[in-house]
Structure 1
Amino acid sequence: MLSFLPAPLIGVLNSILLAINTIFWCVLLYIPALLKLIIPHKGFRVICTKVIIWISESWVACNTGWMKLTQNTDWQVTGAENLKRESWYLVLSNHQSWVDILAMQRVFNREAPFLKFFLKQQLIWVPVIGLAWWGLDFPFMKRYTREYLIKHPEKRGEDLKATRKACEKFRYTPVSVMNFVEGTRFTKAKHDKQQSPYKHLLTPKAGGAAFVLDAMGDSIETLVDVTIAYPGGAPTFWDFLCGRVPCIKMHIEPVAIPEHLKGRDYTSDAEHRRNVKEWLSAQWQAKDARLGKMLGE
């Protein structure tokens, strides 16, 4: 353990280790990713995807290694023993910090299928990792604002079509499709602006999760409800790199997804939209109470 070093020095060291680890594994990942692009055979692409996932899990394992070497964070995780490698999951979590992603990757790694996020289309151009995300089949989405759709009604339903096309790639290899349904990180200012009915959470947006259920309802049977708490306050990414996060609590709870929420059209079916929102609201009410207990309230 190197946690005795000054925090800024630990932060610089971890930044270097993260950068080296990312570049090394991404360069390896480019090889099967490019082969998958060049050779359009479905079986070969499935094999390439499995190799890419192994490389990605190795990247996460090495990240966990430098965390253990340089940090003294108390990790309190419950429910991880219920995860299975050969399952298709919809994973929903509250969102407070960029640390959430590294924390979930560490806990889920090699216990569940590799976590895949929906990303903004522009992020494919991020240096080094943009191509890695593409190789991992992360769905790149182009979202349309309400105002844009009013002016261009012909674009309605394009989000769902793109989601279905992206999710087609997930049918052949187990996957954990991750969604931060609050849409942004929690802050007191955002909470007050929304007038959120929850004490510790922002109001969830049902569309993203509903699109996954619409597109993959025949594959995904389980919601993995993740609750993340930072008793010392939500950290910045630099705080995490510096080892200034005293405790991370995470509760993982698999929940069966009701059959009537699968395989319908969230865009055009008003009853379906209402059912999904009510179901998600119930999950969020339970999460809000759970988060209060995890914070010692």
Structure 2
Amino acid sequence: MLMKLLRSLRVVMAAILLSLNSIIHVTPLLLVALIKAVTRVRPVQSVCDRVLMAIAASWIDVNSWMFDHLTDAEVVVTGLPDAMPEGHFLLLCNHQSWVDIPVLQKLFNRRLPMLRFFLKSQLIWVPVLGLAWWALDFPFMKRYSRQQIEKRPDLAGKDVAATRQACEKFRRIPVSVVNFAEGTRFRPGKHAQQQSPFRHLLKPKAGGTALVLDAMSESLDTLVDVTITYPDGVGELGDLFANRIGRIVVDIQTLPIPAELRGGDYQNDEAHRARIQAWVNERWQAKDNTIDRLLDEGLKARA
């Protein structure tokens, strides 16, 4: 009973500190974003972009400090690349938990350009954070079902247009575009429903990756392929600060993006679409094998 109470207090304290950190950083962030929005002078906008990145990096630094000092979770990482703060990167990652995001930010903050995620449009209404994501040019995507498109054909292609618009902004600044290709967090029920051919992963969706490759073909430099696993059990953010998550094992591979995958037309070119899908599935098979290896190594380490 006492242990349960202490864990609850830790989670409440962490939530308060995370909220305070967000409020302290988001206030100047929004002021700079407002200056950027009202000016049309490119040098001023470039300075604003740099200031916004610095504020965001400071925000993540504080969150990472809390990760290190307020939890007992151990992040074990192999293949962490040297610092590359300039350039344009595609970061391809499997998705196990919301904890994946602070782990990625902890590992890559100030090492790669700031990570930007494609977010569901509803997330713009999240208090404080929604405005921060907007200020940092995170793309908000509205997905339409097949039934919605059948009723309103004008909706077809709007998500593609929004992706291209976001990627046009990214051409001007150093960026790491994060794609959780599974589209959602791994759950055994979803895995069974999909009849996924992978042991530890949901089926990847190649469309989002293809849109980024097509829209940023000339500027994308490198693929950062990240595989995350939780050998002691998966949990969410509350579990992290309640110390119910042990080791988090991360494998990173930094690879060139094949030239033949860039600059095509995924929507209309069947051969290009097949190349992209084959490449994404190949990466996912490699991830599945990596998770097998990491889990086996973990079992041997405990023996």
TM tier relative to shorter chain:
over 0.9
Q: CA deviation at 1:295?
A: 1.5
Task: State the 1:161 CA deviation.
Answer: 2.0
Matches within 5 A, 1:70-85: 70-85=70-85
Per-residue CA distance 1:168-198 (angstroms, 9 max, x = gap): 1111211000111101110111000000000
Query: What does residue 286 of structure 2 align with?
Result: 286
Q: Which runs of 5+ in 2 are unaligned?
A: none
Show the counterpart of 1:135: 135
TM-score normalised according to structure 1 size = 0.94
Q: CA deviation at 1:44?
A: 1.4
Q: Is the 8 A contact 2:83 2:110 kept in 1?
A: no
Matches within 5 A, 1:186-265: 186-265=186-265
Listed as ranges, the matches of 1:62-141 within 5 Å are 62-141=62-141
Q: Check whether the contact 1:11–1:243 (CA below 8 A) recurs between aligned residues.
A: no
Q: Trace 1:37-52 onto structure 2 (pairs within 5 A).
A: 37-52=37-52
Question: 1:23-48: CA deviations, max 9, x gaps?
Answer: 11111211101111111222211211
Contact 1:80/1:111 (8 A) holds in 2:
no
CA offset at residue 222 of structure 1?
1.3
Quote the offset at 1:65 in angstroms: 1.3
TM-score under structure 2 length normalisation: 0.92
Deviation beyond 4 Å, 4+ runs, structure 1: none
In the TM superposition, residue 271 of structure 1 has moved relative to its aligned partner by 1.1
Rounded to whole Å, the distance in 1 between the matches of 2:156 and 2:65 is 45
Aligned-CA RMSD value = 1.5
Q: Describe the shift of the 1:262–1:101 C-alpha distance in structure 2 as closer, same or farther (beyond 3 A).
A: same
- Rounded Cα–Cα distance in structure 2 between residues aligned with 1:250 and 1:162: 31
Correspondence 1:105-184 to 2 at 5 A? 105-184=105-184
Unpaired segments ≥5 residues, structure 1: none
Render the CA deviation track for 1:67-87: whole Å, top value 9, x for unaligned.
222222221111113451112
The aligned residue for residue 9 of structure 1 is 9
Q: State how far apart, in whole Å, the 1-side matches of 2:72 and 2:31 are.
A: 36
Partner SS for 2:81: helix
Cα-to-partner distance string for 1:116-162 (whole Å, 9 max, x where unaligned): 01112222222211111111011112222223333444443332222
In 2: Cα distance, 1:122 partner to 1:290 partner: 34
Aligned partner of 2:20: which letter?
I
Which residue is 2:268 aligned to? 268
Count of aligned pairs between the two proteins: 293
How far apart are the structure 2 equivalents of 1:27 and 1:114?
19
Q: Provide, for residues 87-121 of structure 1, a one-character-per-residue CA deviation record: whole Å limited to 9, x for no partner.
A: 21111111111000011111111111110011122
Deviates more, 1:101-110 or 1:147-156: 147-156
Q: Report the secondary structure of 1:164's partner residue.
A: helix
Residue 43 of structure 2 aligns to a residue whose secondary structure is: helix
Hey, what's the Cα distance between the residues in 2 that align with 1:11 and 1:69?
13
Corresponding letter in the other structure for 2:141? M
* Distance in structure 1 (CA, Å) of the matches to 2:225 and 2:82: 12
- 1:182-234 CA deviation, whole Å, 9 max, x = no partner? 01110111000000000000000011111101100111131111001111111
Alpha-carbon shift at residue 289 of structure 1 (Å): 0.4
Alpha-carbon contact 1:88-1:222 (below 8 Å) kept: yes
1-structure distance, mates of 2:13, 2:146: 44
Secondary structure at 1:111 match in 2: coil
| Cα distance in structure 2, aligned partners of 1:9 and 1:124 | 29
CA change 1:83–1:148 in 2 (3 A) is farther
